């Protein structure tokens, strides 16, 4: 409903202009019928079959968090942990419900972002300047009309970019944003949206990011008896970044359908500051990335019974990594990846309240490198999914089966080798609304899924193991959600959800010593993790005195993610039944926004409890809790036809010194100023 209102309001706002244009019409003309041109209102249809709702951030709620990358925004979802290696350009990956980064699928405008080399997506690369909303689903998206690939992850993040919206009298929208602040940040971006006609529009967006990445940090070392070994302050170096991102898109509407095309380009050079160990304060590693993809979507309802959705994508990625430090190991490697993806999904409405989807996907991946004896892997993947959804009164259910057929081809001294695999994995989701007049829902799901070993796991020179099996995850979830709007003068709306879950990860791929020496390693299927947890999320909108409106959002996660790997396999008896690395037992966030006339105050808080950097939960591996407070103030006003918004931010308000990853210190208190123009 909120999305529909945002699209209708510009037309309502234009009605006084139409009336004003008629003020010079004589009284007789007022009795006649005034013919207005047709106005079409377009809004995304909410699927009737939604069973497990997503955690969502978009619009004002997303803007109020004062974060500038997708990774930083996702931290405010329940059940999410982020690995942040520090700095403006530091790598940022996320982990949902402790199943591992590779079990999370990240989709950009409906098509999955890929990295066949190591399976990890650096979400720090994706700015929020062109993002409309972010959605997080546990299990899978509750919409059966989707590609087979969308059924293939334990959790999914959907990132949706802006779709151009125009008032009646406008054909162009322009937005300019400029940020500057601590660490030498210079970050301008430009957006241009153009309407060709009522059916076709376009969008072009470009952003440049530069930062020195230098910031003060505290380096403190304690002996096992609790005495201080050293305690000093230094400056983080080699954390600079120089990056350019550019996107272009076309949007089209057809009868009973739509189409979309997008091109994306990202190029960066960044320093890798490395870990602070053994009094080494500076590292010289550098990384260059060039990422390009183009993708398209076609969707049409051919009848009341049959609908078709087709998507296609081609991606080309290049990475150059250089470590000039010969005291460790000189490394100067280059990697090239290619990906081709095609999918067709077919939805059939069998009976009222019952529909089915048959989807077939094909994906082709290659990896090349300038390494000696590199396997040059090529992977062909065929995915087929059958899904069905049923609704009767307050009961909703979805079920799906995914078939995955993989063929890997490699080159070695013996010639070309082929490795074929096939797997079938099911999922079942149910939801029940006990009282039709109340927005109270009970829900549950079961899903068994796997993630294929990456090219690095299988074929990295002298470390990979071509005999690796997939890593399986089995998920169980039960939960409830309640939403209500109030007529009171204080509390306007309230939403609360709670989910309990149990996840079992088997055949977990981990690195173990190879042979008698600890300096050679091999990837093996010997890991096992059991995860029990509870996610809680709540949001409320309140009206305070003096015409102040207040929006609040709270999340809390409790987890026990224990390593059940047989200690005889790893030779580390101290890790059995220990908390897996970097997973806290308690974590949560709070976000609040107070709006008064043209002024907005935004506050956010993130807490991550105590944890260990190894499954051996001993005092030497203990990591203290950390938390941050962020505060921002914004003022909006109009200057002729231009809407301006000025923002000042203070992040890590209390100047806490902390590490998300051990020996990778995060910035202390820092500042940012933002100017945004819309015209």
Tokens of residue 597, six digits:
């006339």
Residue 269 banded pLDDT, cuts 50, 70, 90 = very high
The one-character DSSP state at 10 is H
Report the half-sphere exposure of 561 (CA within 13 A, side-chain side). 26
Residue 514 banded pLDDT, cuts 50, 70, 90 = low
Residue pLDDT, tens place only, 54-98: 899 988 888 888 788 888 899 899 999 888 887 677 788 888 999
Q: Does residue 518 register a pLDDT over 70? A: no
Residue pLDDT, tens place only, 187-206: 999 999 999 999 999 999 99
Q: Does residue 242 register a pLDDT over 90? A: yes
Q: Does residue 227 register a pLDDT over 90? A: no
Residue pLDDT, tens place only, 3-30: 433 433 343 333 333 333 333 333 333 3
Residue 252 banded pLDDT, cuts 50, 70, 90 = very high
Paired with 193 in beta bridges are 173, 203
User: What confidence score (pLDDT) does residue 403 get?
Assistant: 97
Q: What is the mean pLDDT of residues 130-146?
A: 92
C-beta neighbour count of 144 within 10 angstroms = 27
Q: Does residue 109 register a pLDDT over 90? A: yes
In the chain, pLDDT over 90 holds for what percent of residues?
62
Q: What is the mean pLDDT of residues 435-451?
A: 94
Q: 3-class DSSP state for residue 64?
A: coil
Q: Which of 301, 276, 142 is nearest to 217 (CA)?
A: 276
The residue ranking higher by pLDDT, 50 or 610, is: 610
Tokens of residue 113, six digits:
């972002």
The residue ranking higher by pLDDT, 250 or 216, is: 250
C-beta neighbour count of 159 within 10 angstroms = 22
User: What confidence score (pLDDT) does residue 352 get?
Assistant: 93
User: What confidence score (pLDDT) does residue 273 get?
Assistant: 85
CA–chain centroid gap for 49, Å, is 23
Taking only Cα atoms into account, the Rg of the chain, rounded to an integer number of angstroms, comes to 26
CA–chain centroid gap for 550, Å, is 26
| Alpha-carbon torsion (49, 55, 57, 59), positive or negative | positive
Q: What is the mean pLDDT of residues 284-304?
A: 95
User: What confidence score (pLDDT) does residue 594 get?
Assistant: 96
Q: What CA–CA distance (Å, rounded) separates 555 from 537?
A: 4
Going through 196-240 in order, the beta strands assigned E by DSSP cover: 200-211, 215-222, 228-236
Phi, psi of 399 (to 5 degrees): -145, 145
Q: Which of 57, 27, 202 is nearest to 132 (CA)?
A: 57
Average pLDDT, the chain: 87
User: What confidence score (pLDDT) does residue 28 get?
Assistant: 36
Least confident of 239-243, 298-302, 525-529, 535-539: 525-529
Longest dimension (CA), the chain: 100
Residue pLDDT, tens place only, 345-354: 999 999 999 9
Q: What CA–CA distance (Å, rounded) separates 603 from 64?
A: 8
Phi, psi of 118 (to 5 degrees): -130, 0
Residue pLDDT, tens place only, 352-403: 999 999 999 999 999 999 988 888 999 999 999 999 999 999 999 999 999 9
Least confident of 13-22, 31-40, 150-159, 566-575: 13-22
User: What confidence score (pLDDT) does residue 569 get?
Assistant: 67
Residue 614 banded pLDDT, cuts 50, 70, 90 = confident
639 Cβ neighbours under 8 A, 6+ residues apart? none
On whether the CB atoms of residues 356 and 399 are closer than 8 A, the answer is no
Q: What is the mean pLDDT of residues 204-217?
A: 93
User: What confidence score (pLDDT) does residue 14 get?
Assistant: 39
Q: Which of 361, 373, 441 is nearest to 404 (CA)?
A: 361
User: What confidence score (pLDDT) does residue 27 get?
Assistant: 36
On whether the CB atoms of residues 215 and 234 are closer than 8 A, the answer is no
Least confident of 34-48, 82-96, 239-253, 442-456: 34-48
Q: What CA–CA distance (Å, rounded) separates 677 from 178?
A: 9
Q: What is the mean pLDDT of residues 450-474?
A: 87
| Alpha-carbon torsion (103, 108, 114, 119), positive or negative | negative
| Alpha-carbon torsion (294, 92, 649, 238), positive or negative | negative
User: What confidence score (pLDDT) does residue 247 get?
Assistant: 96
Q: What is the mean pLDDT of residues 165-179?
A: 93
| Beta-strand relationship, 104-108 and 155-161 | parallel
Burial category of 127 from C-beta neighbours within 10 Å (exposed 0-12, middle 13-18, buried 19 and up): buried
């Amino acid at each position: 409903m909120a999305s529909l209102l945002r699209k209708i309001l510009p037309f309502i706002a234009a009605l006084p202009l139409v009336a004003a244009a008629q003020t010079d019409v004589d009284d007789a003309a007022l009795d006649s019928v005034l013919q207005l041109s047709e106005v079409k209102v377009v809004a995304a249809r909410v699927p009737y079959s939604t069973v497990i709702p997503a955690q969502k951030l978009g619009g004002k709620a997303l803007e109020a968090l004062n974060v500038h990358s997708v990774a930083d925004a996702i931290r405010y979802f329940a059940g999410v942990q982020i690995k942040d290696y520090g700095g403006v350009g530091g790598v940022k990956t996320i982990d949902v419900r402790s199943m591992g980064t590779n079990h999370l699928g990240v989709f950009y405008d409906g098509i999955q972002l890929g990295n066949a080399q190591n399976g990890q997506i650096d979400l720090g690369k994706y700015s929020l300047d062109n993002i409309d909303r972010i959605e997080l689903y546990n299990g899978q998206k509750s919409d059966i009309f989707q590609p087979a690939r969308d059924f293939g992850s334990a959790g999914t993040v959907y990132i949706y970019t802006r779709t151009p919206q125009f008032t009646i009298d406008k054909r162009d929208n322009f937005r300019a944003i400029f940020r500057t602040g601590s660490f030498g940040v210079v970050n301008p971006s430009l957006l241009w949206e153009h309407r060709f006609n009522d059916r076709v529009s376009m969008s072009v967006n470009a952003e440049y990011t530069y930062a020195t990445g230098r910031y003060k940090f505290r380096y403190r070392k304690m002996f096992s008896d609790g005495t201080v070994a050293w305690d000093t302050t230094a400056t983080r170096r080699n954390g600079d970044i120089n990056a350019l991102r550019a996107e272009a898109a076309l949007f089209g509407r057809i009868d009973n359908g739509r189409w979309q095309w997008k091109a994306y380009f990202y190029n960066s050079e960044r320093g890798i500051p490395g870990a602070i160990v053994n009094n080494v304060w500076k590292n010289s590693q550098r990384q260059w990335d060039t990422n390009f993809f183009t993708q398209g979507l076609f969707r049409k309802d051919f009848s009341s019974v049959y609908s078709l959705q087709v998507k296609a994508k081609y991606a080309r990625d290049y990475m150059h990594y250089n470590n000039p430090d010969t005291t460790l190991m000189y490394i100067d490697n280059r990697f090239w990846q290619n990906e081709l993806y095609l999918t067709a999904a077919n939805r059939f409405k069998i009976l009222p309240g019952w529909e089915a989807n048959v989807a077939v996907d094909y994906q082709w991946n290659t990896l090349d490198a300038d390494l000696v004896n590199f396997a040059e892997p090529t992977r062909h993947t065929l995915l087929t999914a059958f899904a069905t959804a049923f609704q009767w009164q307050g009961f909703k259910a979805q079920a799906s089966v995914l078939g995955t057929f993989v063929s890997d081809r490699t080159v070695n001294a013996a010639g070309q080798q082929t490795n074929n695999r096939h797997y079938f994995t099911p999922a079942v989701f149910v939801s029940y609304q006990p009282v039709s007049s109340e927005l109270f829902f009970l829900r549950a799901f079961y899903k068994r899924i796997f993630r294929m070993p990456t090219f690095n796991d299988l074929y990295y020179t002298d470390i990979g193991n071509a005999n690796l099996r997939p890593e399986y995850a089995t998920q169980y979830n039960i939960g409830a959600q309640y939403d209500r709007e109030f007529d009171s003068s204080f509390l306007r709306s309230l939403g609360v959800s709670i989910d309990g879950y149990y996840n079992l990860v088997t055949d977990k791929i981990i690195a173990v010593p190879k042979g008698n020496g600890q300096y050679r390693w091999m990837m093996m299927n010997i890991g096992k993790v059991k995860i029990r947890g509870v996610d809680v999320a709540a949001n409320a909108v309140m009206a305070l005195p003096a015409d102040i409106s207040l929006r609040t959002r709270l999340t809390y996660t409790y987890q026990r993610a224990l390593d059940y790997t047989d200690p005889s396999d790893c030779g580390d008896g101290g890790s059995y039944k220990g908390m897996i690395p970097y997973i806290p037992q308690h974590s949560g966030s709070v976000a609040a926004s107070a709006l008064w006339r043209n002024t907005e105050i935004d506050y956010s808080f993130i807490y991550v409890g105590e944890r260990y950097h190894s499954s051996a939960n001993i005092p030497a591996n203990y990591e203290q809790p950390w938390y941050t407070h962020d505060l921002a103030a914004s003022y909006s006003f109009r200057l002729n036809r231009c809407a301006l918004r000025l923002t000042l931010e203070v992040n890590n308000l209390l100047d806490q010194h902390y590490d998300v990853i051990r020996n990778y210190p995060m910035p202390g208190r820092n500042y940012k100023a933002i100017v945004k123009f819309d015209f």
